[in-house]
Amino acid sequence: MSTHKRIGILTAGGDSPGLNAAIRGFGKTAIGHYGWELIGYRDGITGLVNNRHIPLDGAALSGILTVGGTILGTSRDKVHKFPVDGEPVDMVPTVVENYHKEGLDALILLGGGGTAKNAKRLVDAGLNVLHLPKTIDNDIAMTDTSFGFATALEIATDAIDRVHSTAHSHHRIILTELMGHRAGWLTLGAGLAGGADVILIPEIPYTVEKIVETIQARTARGSSFSVIAIAEGARDVDDTADFEAARLLAKSARTPEAARAAKSHLANVEDSQREHTFRLARELEAATGLESRVTILGYVQRGGTPCAADRLLATRIGAAAADLVAAGEFGFMVAARGEGTEPVPLSEVAGKVKTVPVDHEWVTAARKVGTGLGD
């Protein structure tokens, strides 16, 4: 057993199935196996800045394995740009002060890509920090998968399964929009598992003409309907060019004024493309003569009971994080590696996104079974 330690834990970013399972996995190992004290910060970085926390003991962790969301609450605040009276303020020094005031030996952050960046900033400030990877998008770099993804994949696949019957009955094209701004793992996986006829993801810009070709080929074979799985971040070739140009402009801005103007332009471009799924539905209806309808799953993908795979993954990662604290190893993300885990330096994770390689085996499998990818 290790000597007594006092550990803080929080959940940040969007909610996700498996967060409570990970809190429990870390907490039960920390308390029951190592004999440490655990406190939970309320509402993510907000609680860390305002020093709002609650004690977590065995009773608090009991019964949360199967519960969706997070018992601690969450927020998307950034530690170095925390909103104070409407202005972004660097609160890293305040967090460092609170950390030492509470006598913490380590801080555990559960979250996605933004949380990894917050964790890295706190590591750079000299704190003992570990990051546990959570996201339904599966887009965190340097980990095989993240808890939340498997559950969202089941929910999205079930939705695609269900729209097949109504598409077939009404001879319609049904477009099911799934989450994934930057990475198409969820849409690609659910599209493959659900037997979607067309899958559209951010990594592969599409053209309406190619999608129409796929649908018309199905019609020629006697199929009177089509199901399309489309990521919220999927774009056609022209929109992709506009978005990439705006993003490049934002990255290359050299003055504060230019940066603000470029970010505003990028936001306007993104806003103009938000209803791309509805626009595509209208274009396909005009080109094919088939009625087209849109189903947007939205936050349904984040909610509810985590599946068995996510409960298992979250528990393993949580327990492994406690072992790293016991070993005095900090500044890492606890990555999933096969059936094990591996500490990866946060410097190799923060600011990176794991996108779908265009030659990934899921992509090649989709092409081999005749699924259209819009290119």
Residue 22: closest CA among 323, 342, 336, 318: 318
The token pair that represents 281 in the structure block = 């539905």
Q: 335 has which bridge partners?
A: 342
Residue 39's SS3 state is strand
Q: Are both 6-147+306-348 and 152-302+357-368 of the same fold? A: yes
CB atoms within 10 A of CB 294: 17
Contacts of 247 (CB under 8 A, 6+ apart): 266
Sequence spans of domains, the chain: 6-147+306-348, 152-302+357-368
The token pair that represents 21 in the structure block = 């399972």
Q: Which residues are catalytic?
A: 137
Q: What is the CA radius of gyration of the chain?
A: 22
Residue 2: closest CA among 328, 350, 340, 268: 328
How high is the pLDDT of residue 106?
Answer: 98
How high is the pLDDT of residue 86?
Answer: 87
What is the rounded CA–CA span in Å between residue 62 and residue 168? 45
Note whether 76 and 14 are within 8 A (CB).
yes
Residue 321: closest CA among 48, 58, 30, 123: 30
How high is the pLDDT of residue 271?
Answer: 82
Residue 306: closest CA among 28, 62, 74, 70: 70
Angle between helix 256-272 and 237-252 (nearest 10)? 160
Q: Which residues of 313-352 are buried (b: 16+ CB within 10 A; e: fewer)?
A: bbbbbbbbbbbbbbeeebbbbbbbeeeebebbebeebbee
- The torsion angles phi and psi of 324, rounded to 5 degrees, stand at -65, -40
| Secondary structure element (H or E) that encloses residue 15, with its range | none
The alpha carbon torsion through 84, 89, 94, 95 (nearest 10 deg) reads 100
How high is the pLDDT of residue 204?
Answer: 96
Q: 89 has which bridge partners?
A: 82
Instruction: Give the residues of the chain that fall short of pLDDT 50.
Output: 1-2
How high is the pLDDT of residue 130?
Answer: 98
Side-chain-side CA neighbours of residue 365 (13 Å): 10
What fold characterizes domain 152-302+357-368?
Rossmann fold (3.40.50)
The token pair that represents 14 in the structure block = 């969007």
CB atoms within 10 A of CB 103: 9
Residue 321's SS3 state is helix
How high is the pLDDT of residue 286?
Answer: 94
What fold characterizes domain 6-147+306-348?
Rossmann fold (3.40.50)
In SS3 terms, 30-77 reads as: HHHHCCCEEEEECCCHHHHHHCCEEEECHHHHCCCCCCCCCCCCCCCC
Kindly report, residue by residue over 255-287, the tens digit of the pLDDT. 888 888 888 888 888 888 888 999 999 999 999
Kindly report, residue by residue over 223-242, the tens digit of the pLDDT. 888 999 999 999 999 888 88
The token pair that represents 195 in the structure block = 């037997």
Burial class from Cβ neighbours inside 10 Å (0-12, 13-18, 19+) for residue 126 reads exposed
Look-up: residue for tokens 């649908």? 215
How high is the pLDDT of residue 246?
Answer: 87
The token pair that represents 240 in the structure block = 């992709």
* Encoded amino acid at 281, one letter: A
